[in-house]
Homo-oligomer: A and B are copies of this chain.
C-alpha cells in the first residue's frame, strides 16, 4: 500500500517492524559494496586470451611494426573496427591508450587553455559546461579540477532537457559545452531519442564561442537485451547542421575487454582531430599499438565484438534482474521511491522521497553496505533534492547483489517511515 494512504497507527507499526529488521541487519556484520561500475572477474575473464593472441606477429596491416614508436592516432585497422561501435567513418577516429577518461580530460584541458578555435578561458566570464543531472561524477570532477563552472539541467527519459539546454546556451555567458552519455545514460539508463540528438547537434550554433558536445558513448554497445533501444547518429545530424567540428565522441573497451587494459578512442571531424593530434604530439610519441593490434586480432570484426557483448549481457542481466525484482517486490506502489529499469549500461538510478538519499546511504553504511555517496551524481556532490542513489550491480556476485538489495530496500523503508512518523 502507498505510504501516503497509511494511518498513523499503520505507519507506527510498519516503522517498528523496519526498526526490528534493521537491528537484525546490523547484527549480520555484512561487508558489501555496490559503489562503482566495475566489470566482474567473470566478465574480464572473457578476454583472457588477449595476452598471447599475437603469437609473435607484431606487424600491422600497413606494415607498421607496432612494437616501435609512432602513429599518434592509432592503427588503421583499430580505427576501422571501433568506428563501427560509434557508427562513424574510420577516418574520423583516433585510437588512444587505456582510458577514455584521459582523452576526455585532454580534450577539455585543450579546449580550455589552447582552444579548438578560441580558448574557453579567453571568453567573457567563467567558462561553463552544461551537466544533465543526475550524471557521471568523473565528468564533473574534470570540470571542477579545471575551474569550469557546471550548470545543471534536468535529464529526461529522452535525454537532456533540450529546451533548457538551448535556453542556457543562449542566455548565459560563455557556455562552452555539454556532457552527454547518450546510450544507457549514467546513471538513469535512458537512451537519447532522435529529436534530442538533432537538437544537440545544433546546440553549437547557438553558443557565442567554441562549444563542444562532449559525447561519452561509454555504453554504446552495452545492451542487456536484444531489443534495447538503438541510438541514432549524432554525427549525421551534425554534418547536416554543419557542426561536426564541435561534436566529440568518446568510447573504449574498458567494459568490453579489460577495464584497466583496454583501448580508448574518440571521434570527431578530421579538422578537429588534426588540431587535437597536434596538441597530443607534445605529450606522447604514440599510444600502445601492440594492445590495439591485440584487440583487432582478438575480435577480428564488429560481429566479433557483438558476439562478445552477448556474453557480457548473459552475465550482467541476472544481476540487474536481482536489483529490479527486489525493488518491484518490496517498493512498487509504496511511494517510497522510484526507479527506471534500464535496458543496458551499468547502473540503476533510484530516487528516494526528497531529502532521504543521504540518510539511506548512511543507514546502509552503518550496516556494512557501501553505496555510492548520495550527491555523487551531481556537480559539486550536491543533489538539491537529496534523492538520487546510483546502484551499480555489475561487480559483486549475484548472491551479494541480492543481499545488498535486501538491505537497501530495508534502509529505504526505515528512512522513509522514520521521516513520515517524525512529521506527524
Residues of A within 8 A of B (CB): 36, 38-39, 41, 44-45, 47-48, 51-56, 58, 65-71, 97-99, 101-102, 105-106, 109, 113, 138, 141-142, 145, 254, 258-261, 279, 282-291, 294
Contact = CB atoms under 8 A, between A and B. Distances in A.
User: Most chain-B Cβ atoms within 10 A of its Cβ — which of A47, A98, A286?
Assistant: A98
In the complex, the 10 A-B pairs of residues with the closest C-beta atoms, listed nearest first? A52-B52, A261-B290, A44-B67, A105-B283, A67-B258, A145-B282, A69-B259, A261-B288, A98-B288, A51-B54
A288 B290 contact: no
Contacts of A260: 66-71, 285-290
Contacts of A38: 68-69
B44 A282 contact: no
B101 A285 contact: yes
5 contacts: A44-B67, A48-B56, A67-B259, A98-B284, A105-B284
A290 B253 CA distance: 15
A63 B102 CA distance: 26
A418 to B, nearest CB: 36
A264 to B, nearest CB: 10
User: Most chain-B Cβ atoms within 10 A of its Cβ — which of A65, A71, A289?
Assistant: A65
Interface residue SS majority, chain A: loop
Nearest to A37: B69
A98 B282 contact: no
B68 A285 contact: no
Given A51-B51, A145-B279, A261-B289, 4 more contacts: A41-B65, A44-B65, A97-B98, A99-B285
A31 B56 CA distance: 29
Contacts of A99: 283-286
A261 B69 CA distance: 8
A174 to B, nearest CB: 19
A67 B45 CA distance: 8
Given A38-B69, A39-B68, A68-B38, A98 B287 contact: yes
Contacts of A98: 97, 284, 287-288
B69 A290 contact: no
A102 B283 contact: yes
A98 B291 CA distance: 11
Contacts of A105: 282-284
Contact of A68 (B44, B67, B294): B44
A106 B283 CA distance: 8
A52 B289 CA distance: 16
A73 to B, nearest CB: 13
B259 A101 contact: no
Nearest to A59: B41
Contacts of A53: 51
A311 to B, nearest CB: 15
Contacts of A106: 283
Contacts of A279: 145
Contacts of A291: 261, 288, 291
Contacts of A44: 58, 65, 67-68
A58 B45 CA distance: 9
Contacts of A290: 51, 258, 260-261
Contacts of A254: 69
